[in-house]
């Protein structure tokens, strides 16, 4: 059998984790697409808007997480790198037991404040639906928060392949249950489907993590105040960020419902989720960096900055063609989801595409901060997003309705993201000249040209043949520009040999 060098094993593990995340996101995106088609055809966009807003407002319960779930990945990875697997297991059990107790107290207290908030967002039938869904939303979030501890533990063990397979299976279960239950039970059927998904993730996550980290007890029972104190010190910034994010996604959906109605909230949910699923294909690869950075901090801290520069280089090469293609084919997305070309949906989709494209370039800095434990700037970025979104969203929503809320959402996202990028690069002494952005110049010009052509054909012509021909040509030009990009060859020569050399 061929000898496998440790360095090759490390590269293969990182690549495998990244590919597992990408596979999870591709399959997950397809499943969500099927779910949205089913919900929209059976219940309409308004019902989807009610569910998304209720779930978003109930996400206030995530404040009781105390930032602990986000801490698990880093602490487990750090203890395994030393190596101290028993302490890594103690981290998982401590967080699980802590959240179990805290949520048992916090969730019942949250029900009535949210119950009385809903009349400010909905009225009539939509209000009745929202109130009936609230308890199911709280139970679903409780299961998701507890299950997230075990998923973070798998990430810390650098077994994202196991986590990805489990999450995809859970999503498949949810879609299957939703298709079965919605025709008879309506939105309550969708709620039960999500609860079923949460129960599956909770049980499967524990079993998979225990198989990977064998120092775990059969039943979580070991609790450590010392470990909890360490994680709280790390997680306080994450939790402050969580508070501010309540001024971001949930508040945006609430403002969308208030100023645009349940249907506009449904359109925003669909448009934003389409973009987030596409974005997650790229971010998923970066997410594999968190435990790797934590390991580098312990063993080779001098390599972290080079890791960041490579990350930005690859991200630029991937993000431009992916988001350009999504933009120019956005009309097709509208036809697939709604059965028509809807101007409001298209506007919300285009705004989300631009905002999340800008946000992508904050990913390497965000994950590097998480992996190294320097999360203060992540918190400041989230504070910026939350405040800008809260202030602008109310002001623009009153004047321009749903479109004003969408533009405030985009402005907040861009402001916080680029603050994070500039702050990280300044601390690390990384200038624009170090990032080799000139390599992407031709790709950027081609992408802008394609976006202009796509915007023109969807707005100015109803001829399907003309539209299709222009979009195909524009797509081919973008793909050709990406093919000529120097990073393509670099990736091919680096990634493929890793798997060949590490093979049996």
pLDDT of residue 175: 92
Distance CA 65, CA 238 (A): 10
Helix (H, G, I), strand (E, B) or coil at 26: helix
Backbone phi and psi for residue 108, each to the nearest 5 degrees, phi listed first: -60, -30
Taking alpha carbons only, the member of 280, 416, 417 closest to residue 362 is 417
b/e for 274-292, b at 16 or more Cβ within 10 A? bbbbbbbbbbbbbbbbbbb
Q: Please list the pLDDT of the chain residue by residue as tens digits (504 residues).
A: 344 444 444 555 555 656 666 677 778 778 888 888 888 888 888 888 888 888 877 776 666 566 677 678 878 888 888 888 888 888 889 888 888 888 888 888 888 888 988 898 888 888 898 899 999 988 988 898 889 899 988 888 878 778 888 988 998 999 999 999 999 998 899 999 999 999 999 999 999 999 888 888 888 888 888 777 777 766 666 666 666 666 678 889 889 999 998 889 889 989 998 898 888 777 765 555 545 555 555 555 555 566 677 777 778 888 899 999 999 999 989 988 888 888 999 999 999 999 999 998 887 788 777 666 666 788 888 888 988 998 999 999 999 999 999 999 999 999 999 898 888 888 777 766 666 667 777 888 999 999 998 888 887 777 888 888 889 999 999 999 988 887 776 665 555 444 444 444
Taking alpha carbons only, the member of 194, 246, 201, 255 closest to residue 63 is 246
List, in sequence order, every beta strand (DSSP E) within 302-414: none
Concatenated DSSP letters for 121-190? Answer: T--HHHHHHHHHHHHHHHHHHHHHHHHHHHHHHHHHTT-HHHHHHHHHHHHHHHHHHHHHHHHHHTHHHH
Q: Is 135 exposed, middle or buried (0-12, 13-18, 19+ CB in 10 A)?
A: middle
Long-range contacts of 124-130 (CB under 8 A, 24+ apart): 126/46, 126/50, 126/262, 129/47, 129/50, 129/187, 130/50, 130/53, 130/54
Query: How distant, in Å, are the alpha carbons of 13, 151, 169, 196 from that of 201?
Result: 24, 9, 9, 9
Helix (H, G, I), strand (E, B) or coil at 459: helix
Fill in the DSSP letter of residue 43. T
Distance CA 284, CA 485 (A): 22
Helix (H, G, I), strand (E, B) or coil at 84: coil
Taking alpha carbons only, the member of 265, 266, 58, 245 closest to residue 144 is 58
Concatenated DSSP letters for 194-255? Answer: HHHHHHHHHHHHHHHHHHHSTTS-SS-----HHHHHHHHHHHHHHHHHHHHHTTTHHHHHHH
pLDDT of residue 60: 63
Taking alpha carbons only, the member of 290, 326, 329 closest to residue 311 is 290
- Residues 360 and 369: beta-carbon distance below 8 Å: no
């Amino acid at each position: 059998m061929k000898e496998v060098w440790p360095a090759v094993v490390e590269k293969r593990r990182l690549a495998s984790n990244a590919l597992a995340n990408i596979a999870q996101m591709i399959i997950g995106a397809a499943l969500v697409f099927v779910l949205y088609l089913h919900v929209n055809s059976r219940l309409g966009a308004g019902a989807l808007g009610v569910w998304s807003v209720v779930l978003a407002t109930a996400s206030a319960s995530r404040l009781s997480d105390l930032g602990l779930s986000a801490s698990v990945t880093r602490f487990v990875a750090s203890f395994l790198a030393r190596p101290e697997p028993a302490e890594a297991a103690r981290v998982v059990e401590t967080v699980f037991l802590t959240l179990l107790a805290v949520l048992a107290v916090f969730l019942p207290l949250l029900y009535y404040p949210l119950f009385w908030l809903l009349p400010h967002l909905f009225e009539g039938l939509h209000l009745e639906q929202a109130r009936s869904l609230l308890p199911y939303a709280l139970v679903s979030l409780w299961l998701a928060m507890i299950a997230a501890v075990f998923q973070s533990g798998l990430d810390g063990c650098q077994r994202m392949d196991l986590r990805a397979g489990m999450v995809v299976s859970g999503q498949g279960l949810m879609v299957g249950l939703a298709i079965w239950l919605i025709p008879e039970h309506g939105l309550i059927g969708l709620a039960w489907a999500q609860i079923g998904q949460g129960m599956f993730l909770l049980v499967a996550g524990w079993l998979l993590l225990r198989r990977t980290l064998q120092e775990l007890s059969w039943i979580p029972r070991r609790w450590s105040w010392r470990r909890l104190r360490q994680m709280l010190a790390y997680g306080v910034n994450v939790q402050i960020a969580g508070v501010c994010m309540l001024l971001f996604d949930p508040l945006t959906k609430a403002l969308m419902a208030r100023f645009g109605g349940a249907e506009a909230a449904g359109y925003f949910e669909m448009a934003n989720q389409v973009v987030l699923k596409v974005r997650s294909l790229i971010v998923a690869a970066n997410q594999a960096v968190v435990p790797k950075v934590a390991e580098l901090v312990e063993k080779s801290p001098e390599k972290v900055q080079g890791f960041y520069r490579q990350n930005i280089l690859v991200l630029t090469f991937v993000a431009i063609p992916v988001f350009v293609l999504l933009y120019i084919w956005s009309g097709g997305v509208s036809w697939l989801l709604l059965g028509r070309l809807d101007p409001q949906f298209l506007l919300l989709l285009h705004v989300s595409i631009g905002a999340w494209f800008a946000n992508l370039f904050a990913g390497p800095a965000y994950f590097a901060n998480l992996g190294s434990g320097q999360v203060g700037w992540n918190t400041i970025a989230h504070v910026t997003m939350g405040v800008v979104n809260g202030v602008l969203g109310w002001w623009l929503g009153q004047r321009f309705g749903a479109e004003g809320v969408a533009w405030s959402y985009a402005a907040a996202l861009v402001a916080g993201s680029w603050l994070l990028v500039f702050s990280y690069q300044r601390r690390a002494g990384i200038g624009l000249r170090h990032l080799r952005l000139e390599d992407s110049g031709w790709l950027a010009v081609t992408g802008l040209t394609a976006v202009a052509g796509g915007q023109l054909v969807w707005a100015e012509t109803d001829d399907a043949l003309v539209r299709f021909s222009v979009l195909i040509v524009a797509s081919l030009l973008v793909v050709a520009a990406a093919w000529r990009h120097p990073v393509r060859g670099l990736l091919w020569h680096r990634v493929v040999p890793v798997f060949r050399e590490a093979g049996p």
